[in-house]
Amino acid sequence: MYDDTCRFLAEHFSADFASWLLEEPVTLTELKPSELSLDPIRADAMILLQSEESILHIEFQTLPKENIPFRMLDYRVRGHRRYKEKTMRQVVIYLKQTTSELAYQTSYVLKRTRHEFDVIRLWEQPASLFLQYPGLLPFAALGTECKFSGNVASSHSNCGSD
């Protein structure tokens, strides 16, 4: 259920995701995982979006998995191999609240190799953040609580302030 919904939102509201994750309005188009390799890695919901200058790699996860850091490194290397001139921003977005330490892991380390990526835990984000963008509205229910006073517009200022 989460996979298809997150994929739909990221593909159809890519400008909202860019504004949120890149902190600037950028027009992004979908990049198929197969463009990076003949053998795509299976993920809960992985989205690759690109602009002229960069690639935005988003992995939506319901629960943490031990192989996610390695997967992030693998896709970064694949992206660099195919698009050397483009920067890549990688973000793992955890949807369901968990106390697992894996949800706080932001790097992959192997002897003399270190790769870093960003992690967002939706339950720690203020719901008001998601109310700013139509494509992110469904995530408001997963963010910190809101006190709704009748309608979404008037409640916007009451979200995430506790």
Q: What is the mean pLDDT of the chain?
A: 84
Span 103-113, average pLDDT = 96
Beta pairing partners, 45: 60
Lowest mean pLDDT among 15-24, 38-47, 89-98: 38-47
Where would I find the H helices in the chain? Answer: 2-12, 14-21, 68-82, 127-130, 152-155
pTM of the model: 0.83
- The torsion of the CA quartet 65, 71, 73, 77, rounded to 10 degrees, works out to -170
Residue 162: pLDDT above 50? Answer: no
pLDDT band at 38; cut points 50, 70, 90: very low
At residue 35, what is the residue type?
E
pLDDT above 90 for 34: no
* Mean pLDDT, residues 71-89: 92
Highest mean pLDDT among 27-31, 38-42, 122-126: 122-126
Q: How far apart are CA 1 and CA 95, in angstroms?
A: 12
- CA dist 18 and 34 (Å) reads 22
Once rounded to an integer, what is the mean pLDDT over residues 6-30?
88
